[in-house]
Amino acid sequence: MITQKKGEWMELMIPAIWTGLTIQKLLQEVWQAPKGLLHQWRMDKGVKLQNESVPWNTEFQEGQKLQLHLFRHEEYGVEPEFLSIEPIFEDEHLLIVNKPFAMDTHPNQPGQGGTLANGVAFHWQVHGLSTKVRHIHRLDRDTTGGVVFAKHALSGAILDRMLAAREIKRTYHAFVQGLPKQKKGTIHEPIGRDRHHPTRRRVSDRGDHAITHYKVIETFPKHDLSLLELQLETGRTHQIRVHLSHIGHPIVGDSLYGGQTRRFDRQALHAGRIELVHPFTREALSVDIPWPSDLKILHASLI
């Protein structure tokens, strides 16, 4: 399905599979638009079919043109700031950015600057887009890799729901200490807060359900290190870091969870691929996120 941005409106041609579907069902059941957005569209006639406002119980016919007032003027929610950010994928609905290390995903307190969200706001400002900066997920300050942002309210709602349903697949790469005996495995251990440390988490019987899958990609016996590929079924704070430390293979450089910093001074963890079905075009997206230079140097030093 092809969508087009026409000013503040999105246009798309009704596909054959939507024949007989009503506007109401598309918005409420297929896209599951938030109630506030539905109300807004009703009030300002923000949904049109063939350039006309029609009742929402109108059934679609293949080839008709649907128009939605999606791209409204909004405040960014953060101060635009020129930062060196690296967009990897972008269209009118979403943006995937390669977050560098030593950068928060979003402000953690009022007035905080220098975050990825500040950089995204500036990127959008330069390209004439005025919309709230909506991050769909986040990464730890010193973890690098792909972060998804929604470019309008409906995209944000759909992507949030996809994330909750585990329909956004994120693949991580981590350099860890030791040589795992199993080439692949699953860590199924609950994670809770560490009462003795304000930010650290730990495996705890009373913690939240957490599952991490791992696969050994490469080993470096001379250095007693390995490169793992990891995928999450849950999204707990510090999940990969806690789970790998728990099985005796802490991430290189992760001092909070027992990783040695002699070779690397931050956790050697990178979100290297994002896969999802596009919320509007239904295209299967698989976006690879390049390693930062320090990870490339680390890898070269081990070969």
Catalytic positions: 140
188 and 259 Cβ atoms separated by less than 8 Å: no
**215 DSSP 8-state letter:** E
How far, in Å, CA of 123 to CA of 128, rounded?
A: 9
Angle at 190 between CA 189 and CA 192, to 5 degrees: 140
Read off φ and ψ for residue 196, nearest 5 degrees. -100, 5
CB 298 within 8 A of CB 175: yes
Pairing of strands 269-277, 144-150: parallel
- Measured CA angle at 118 (ends 162, 239), to 5 deg: 45
Find how far residue 203's CA is from the centre of its chain. Answer: 25
Which token pair is 293? 């230079």
